[in-house]
Amino acid sequence: MTRIYLDNASTTPVAPEIVAEMMPFFEERFGNASSIHAYGQVARNALELAREELAKEIGAKPSEVFFASSGTEADNLAIKGVAFAFLGKPIHIISSALEHKAVLESLEWLRKKFGVAIDFVAHDANGRLDLDDLKRKIRPNETRLISIMHANNELGNINPIKDIAAIAKAHGVLFHCDAVQSAGKLPLNVEELGADLMTISGHKFHAPKGIGAIYVRTGTPMESLLHGGTHERNRRASTENVAFGVALAKALKLANACLDETNARVLSLRNAFLDALRNEGVPFALNGDQENCLPHILNLSFPIPPSRKLASDVLLLALDAEGVAVSNGSACASGAEKPSHVLLALGKSEPEAKASARVSFSKFNALDEVAEAARRFANALKRLL
């Protein structure tokens, strides 16, 4: 049985040209970028060129771009780093209950450990944010940060980031945008978006796992979380991962160069999959905002009777047995006792959330794959419906 991978919102395969780009830094250019000898300077030059390239792709200055180990680390640095910069003063942060756990758990930790006040902006049943509610929740002289993702990793919803940034700026509040799921899928220009901080992760757009980056606008107050060296201009102490930094910049450049072409292809795959599901007679409902959404993510609920009492991963395992890899939501929460926190926040019951799946495509998927995946979906669901 040929296996079909439709979980690209969790991670993507590393593109062959990106592997080739990295290889010299595992071999002859292996030096430590902090060393002053020739080996180190070769590595340093490559890292700084990658920083310049990455900055260009997001409309930033190279001095505002910092490499990290992941989107999770970058989100933690953005949220905790800003909060720590205001310790000793009232701190209030506004976010959304639909954010990635890297944001939500950072906020909860700040609440428990430091008494930071947290509010979540209201949303409707499709996950669309209520910006009037956002304005109402801002506290003069207390709200320090608004953290809202560019595009939802489970639903695919694209949030009105420019409007949110304008609200933040009008009230003198910093704005952090988690762009992990949108990088390589949507144009990212920090000036146009209005972000003070923005985070990305390479493995979402065909770079390797273990590399991310954070943009920090010049003058933004933010404390470091890692100490032990002057790396990344004192923002993040740790020996630089040169090979992966080079890969991150190259992968984003390649993704941005063919955004329209890739999105059109992925949208055709999405539509073909939905058509094939319908032709197979599979009943389903779409979750999320279907008007403003990323083309590569589908979140589907199936009318599996609550009497079946599905465990969180039963549907996914049934599909995996058919050779189709999908997810129920963020891979970071895989194996959790409860189903997707995003679907629960939309008002789904636990049985409804457990009877849902996120299907996500990439440019490496083929039309014949998605038709076959729909047929296998039908086979799996026949045993559960």
Question: How would you write the pLDDT of the chain (385 residues) with one tens digit per residue?
Answer: 899 999 999 999 999 999 999 999 999 999 999 999 999 999 999 999 999 999 999 999 999 999 999 999 999 999 999 999 999 999 999 999 999 999 999 999 999 999 999 999 999 999 999 999 999 999 999 999 999 999 999 999 999 999 999 999 999 999 999 999 999 999 999 999 999 999 999 999 999 999 999 999 999 999 999 999 889 988 898 999 999 999 999 999 999 999 999 999 999 999 999 999 999 999 999 999 999 999 999 999 999 887 776 766 889 999 999 999 999 866 555 555 578 999 999 999 999 999 999 999 999 999 999 999 999 999 999 888 7
Q: Return the amino acid letter for 3.
A: R
The answer as to CATH 3.40.640.10 being correct for domain 16-257 is yes
Dig out the tokens for 47 from the structure: 């890292």
List all residues 6 or more positions away from 158 whose beta carbon is below 8 Å from its beta carbon: 150, 151, 182, 186, 289, 292, 293, 294
Q: Do domains 4-12+258-382 and 16-257 have the same CATH topology?
A: no
Dig out the tokens for 337 from the structure: 């006792």
Residue ranges per structural domain of the chain: 4-12+258-382, 16-257
**Alpha carbons within 13 A on the beta-carbon side of 190:** 26
The structure's pTM equals 0.95
Q: So which residues are the catalytic ones?
A: 332
Concatenate the DSSP letters of all residues of 168-224 into one string: HHHTT-EEEEE-TTTBTTB---HHHHT-SEEEEEGGGTTSPTT-EEEEE-TT-----
Superfamily designation of domain 4-12+258-382: Aspartate Aminotransferase, domain 1 (3.90.1150.10)
Dig out the tokens for 268 from the structure: 């055709």
Radius of gyration of the chain (CA): 21
